[in-house]
Every structure is written in structure tokens, then in C-alpha cells.
Amino acid sequence: MKFGVIIFPGSNCDHDAFWTLQQVAKQQVTFLWHESHDLENCDAVIVPGGFAFGDYLRTGAIAKFSPVMESVRRFADGGGLVLGICNGFQILCEAGLLPGALMRNTGLKYVCKPVQVRVENADTPFTNACAQGDVLTIPIGHMEGNYFCDQSTLDQLHRENRVVLRYVTPTGEVLPSANPNGSLDNIAGICSAGGNVVGMMPHPERASEPELGGTDGMKIFHSMIGAMANK
């Protein structure tokens, strides 16, 4: 399997994702430049965290026009696996690959800390190494992680089981106190209608080795590897 990690001007988690895939997951991985249309025959694409184009206008608003995103859109339409992490989630929403938008955190403060998220759908290519209801500890680091969509879109996400991760307490309860950013319905991650595109605000690459304080994030990458191996 071959992974591609996109580099935008301002990305700052691209090398973290690259390291995790190459050194921890032991997978073939390459960087994909934002000005290129070539996805280099990758089997999965990571849209990493950071501050693409300095978050000017709003997060992801400029990155969505990058030539590489045209190729990512076609790749996703063909069933290719795309994972957007933090700023990557914001970019996928701006590009229309996922519904909704990420707004400023309630409290208007940057939040950076480990949080607990519950796996709501273990049948996606990104969560199949988990069990339904598993509680994972994965760090967040964002200013605009407050997920929002209109009521009809939220109803559709619920109806189609497309809420993949929710912020919860360490014991797995969905409570306002467990919500770090005001996100609608405690949503931490969603998937596309086909299940092959996921956006999540927590950073799984920051929970990939014991030295980082935990390895729960590797379940996301192991799920992707397993899904591709079983194709």
C-alpha cells in the first residue's frame, strides 16, 4: 500500500503524518505537492493538519483551490481513501467532500490537549480496527474545531450513521463538559456518504507511539491499512 501526504504552504503536521506512516506503520509513503495534479498512484491520501495558506479568509478556504484537491476529489469519487486531520478536515468541508463547516471554538481560544473520543461507527475503512463504543484518547490542537451543519444535514448524518467519532468523557458519556470546542452534537469526526472520506479534528499521528503518551491513534492508520489489504 502507498500513502500520499499533501503539503500545503503552512502545513505543520505533514511530516508527523509521514513519520507515523513510514516509521511506525512501516508503509510506503510520499509527499504530494499542493500545486501538482499527480497523486503518484497512491492508495490513500492524507490531508494533514496545520495552517494551510495561513488560514487566510478562513480555514481551508484557499487550500480547496489547490490543483491537488481537484485530483483528490476525483480520487474520492472513485472510492479512494481520504483522511483529513484537523486542518485537513476543514479543507475537506470547504472543498465539498464532506458536509458542514468548522467554526471558531466556543470561548474563542486555541485548545491543545488530549481528549477522549468514542467510536460511533466501526464499519468504516478508518475505524474497522476498533469496536463500536471504544473510547480513544487522542490529542487535539485547533482554534476552529467547532463542527456545525444545518438540521437537515445533521439528520442525514444520523440516519446514514456517518458520525464516526464523538467527544466523550473518559467513561464514554456524551456530555457538554466533554466537548472541547462547542461542536454540534459533540461531533469529532464524520465520513462521506460512501464511507471512504473521513474528517476528524483529533490528531491520530500524535498518539502513535508510547513516547507520545499513547498509541490509540494508530488504530485509525491500522484500520486504513487493513481496509486496503482486504480490497
pLDDT in tens, 121-157: 999 999 999 999 999 999 999 999 999 999 999 999 9
Q: Which of 94, 120, 144, 205 is catalytic?
A: 205
Q: Among residues 109, 103, 223, 215, which one has the least CA distance to residue 164?
A: 223
pLDDT tens per residue across span 79-90: 999 999 999 999
Q: Which of 42, 86, 93, 191 is catalytic?
A: 86
DSSP at 190 = E
Q: Identify whether 203 is a catalytic site residue.
A: yes
State how far the Cα of 91 lies from the Cα of 23, in Å rounded to an integer: 26
Q: What is the mean pLDDT of residues 161-184?
A: 98
Model pLDDT, residue 80: 98
Model pLDDT, residue 165: 98
pLDDT tens per residue across span 54-75: 998 899 999 999 999 999 999 9
Q: Look up residue 79 and give its three cell numbers.
A: 472510492
Model pLDDT, residue 57: 86
Is residue 4 over pLDDT 80?
yes
Say whether pTM exceeds 0.85.
yes
Q: Identify whether 205 is a catalytic site residue.
A: yes
pLDDT tens per residue across span 176-216: 999 999 999 999 999 999 999 999 999 999 999 999 999 99
What percent helix, strand, coil does the chain show, rounded to 5?
A: 30, 25, 40
Hey, what's the torsion of the CAs at 104, 105, 111, 117, to 10 degrees? -120
Is residue 76 over pLDDT 80?
yes
How many CB atoms are located within 10 Å of the residue 99 CB? 19
State how far the Cα of 159 lies from the Cα of 154, in Å rounded to an integer: 9
Q: Identify whether 42 is a catalytic site residue.
A: no
CATH superfamily of the domain spanning 2-229: Class I glutamine amidotransferase (GATase) domain (3.40.50.880)
